[in-house]
Amino acid sequence: MLSRWFPNVKTPVGGVGFATIAQAVADWHKHALNVQGETDVPLLGLFKERADGAGHSFGTTAVRGFVDMTEEAITLPVTQAGEADLTDALRLLPLHRLSDAHGLDDDAYRYSGFRALTPNEIDAFDITPGYRAFARTVADERMHRPAALRDVLALPADVTYVTAADDFQREMGRFARYGNNSMLVRGLSASRVGDNEYVLRLTGPLADDHTRPEALAQSLVARFGDSIVAYRCYGDTLTVQALGQAADYLGQIRQAPQSLRLDRIQPAHEITRTLASGAMSHGALNSNAHEAVAHGTNMVGGMSNCGEGGEHISRYGTIRGSRIKQFASGRFGVWAGYLADPMLEEIEIKIAQGAKPGEGGQLPAKKVTVEIAAARGATPGVELVSPPPHHDTYSIEDLAQLIHDAKAARVRVIVKLVSSEASARSPSGSPRPGPTSSTSQVTPAAPVPRR
């Protein structure tokens, strides 16, 4: 029954049961009968407040969008003809369970999409309709309830192909008139020629359409009313006499540069090589999700970060192995084989919680399954805690020795540090063993993304 009404939801450890779900449904139904106005409806949208009011991209809107994307049909680079596709079940299994399967040969993996994509396949990849819908929904939620700087920033307005007054008003009305020193608009130039007189010129392929200046004028009148004293159109030019807010607005318009041609843009396969996933441990994520992050990142040439706790040995040397291995504590899955993984390209030494200072680094006992305990060298059912503030690194000398030892793996070594209120402030003395072999990263409250 749960699998029917709650597809793609698996909580094998510590998850809620049917009684909890049934009670929650009954409570919500009872509450719905007492709604009198909008204020009685809880806001479950995209954002959940956390410490100090910081916004967090979390909620039912995002979850529903992710579920919709997982239900899109998978398109593999190789077309399978004349036989049924039996690889869906294989694709969802972690590698250590695949090794237990019987009767599988090379043909079973022929159409599985397990391999890395070629540069041409990456460059030709099309954004799916599901992702476009998800991105649009998330953008709408953030517009209604911005919670971070990214939510109030926007690309330049583009009126290059706009012909109607309503479209001009909508495109140029995206920017707030207060708090902006200037507003970039592509396809429009503006210059001040008198005390209250401005000349607007439409550019681009539709510059010869002489009906567009009139549509632009109508949009300004609809937006500013009597502040537009007079205007006249001739050719591709609109001259406006404006006062008050309209004059201030027109004075802030700057012409944005033209869009670059696609042949001048860096190809996608070169961009994906610079990407890295966040350090999410096998424990915070189950094995299926943890492998999926590494698999998807490796398919496009990026680097996945295994997080503290390592990963199952069956993933070493495969496309599901993490290229970035994290050192957090000797009790958290770090062993000799960790450094022998052929996939290893970078070691990240974590000596403090970065994303969630004082909150992260704990795995409750009920989540320490046999599978996770085996990967971490721990005991099933025993809580795992990475002690603040430095795990097993208690001095700069300890850190320097650890960097020196890690360099023996002949890979790049970085240090994940944190400097924040109520957190240790050791980063100022972090050693730098060599500019070409390792780096030290210091952040005010969170680890700096890999560059």
Q: Burial code of 67-105, b = ≥16 C-beta within 10 A, e = fewer?
A: eeeeeeeeeeeeeeeeeeeebeeebeebbbebeeeeeee
384 neighbors 283 (Cβ within 8 angstroms): yes
* 64 phi-psi bin (left φ>0, alpha ψ -120 to 50, beta other): alpha
End-to-end CA distance of the chain, in Å?
46
CATH fold for the domain made of 268-441: TIM Barrel (3.20.20)
212-224 vs 165-172: helix crossing angle, rounded to 10: 60
- The pLDDT value recorded for residue 440 is 36
- The pLDDT value recorded for residue 397 is 82
Using CA atoms, how far apart are residues 333 and 355, in angstroms rounded to an integer? 21
At 385, give phi and psi (nearest 5°).
-135, 130
Using CA atoms, how far apart are residues 445 and 161, in angstroms rounded to an integer? 43
Cα torsion 141, 143, 147, 150: sign:
positive
- The pLDDT value recorded for residue 430 is 43
Half-sphere exposure (CA, 13 Å, Cβ side) for 396? 10
Using CA atoms, how far apart are residues 101 and 78, in angstroms rounded to an integer? 24
77 DSSP 8-state letter: S
Q: Report CA 173 to chain centroid distance, whole Å.
A: 27
Burial (Cβ within 10 Å: 0-12, 13-18, ≥19) of residue 360: middle
Using CA atoms, how far apart are residues 191 and 264, in angstroms rounded to an integer? 30
- The pLDDT value recorded for residue 197 is 93
Q: Detail the DSSP E strand segments found in 151-206.
A: 157-158, 183-186, 188-192, 197-202
Lookup result for tokens 């070594």: 413
450 neighbors 303 (Cβ within 8 angstroms): yes
Which residue type, as a one-letter code, is found at position 60?
Answer: T
60-70 vs 129-144: helix crossing angle, rounded to 10: 170
Domain boundaries, the chain: 1-39, 43-72+124-152, 154-259, 268-441
> How many CB atoms sit inside 10 A of residue 381's CB?
12
Residue 199: C-alpha distances to residues 58, 181, 188, 240, 372 (Å): 46, 19, 10, 6, 67
Which residue type, as a one-letter code, is found at position 160?
Answer: T
Mean pLDDT, consecutive 10-residue stretches, the chain (451 aa), reads 59 61 82 78 52 51 76 65 56 69 61 77 87 84 70 83 93 79 90 91 91 94 93 92 92 88 89 90 84 91 88 86 80 73 87 53 80 83 66 71 82 74 42 39 35 34
Which pTM was predicted? 0.65
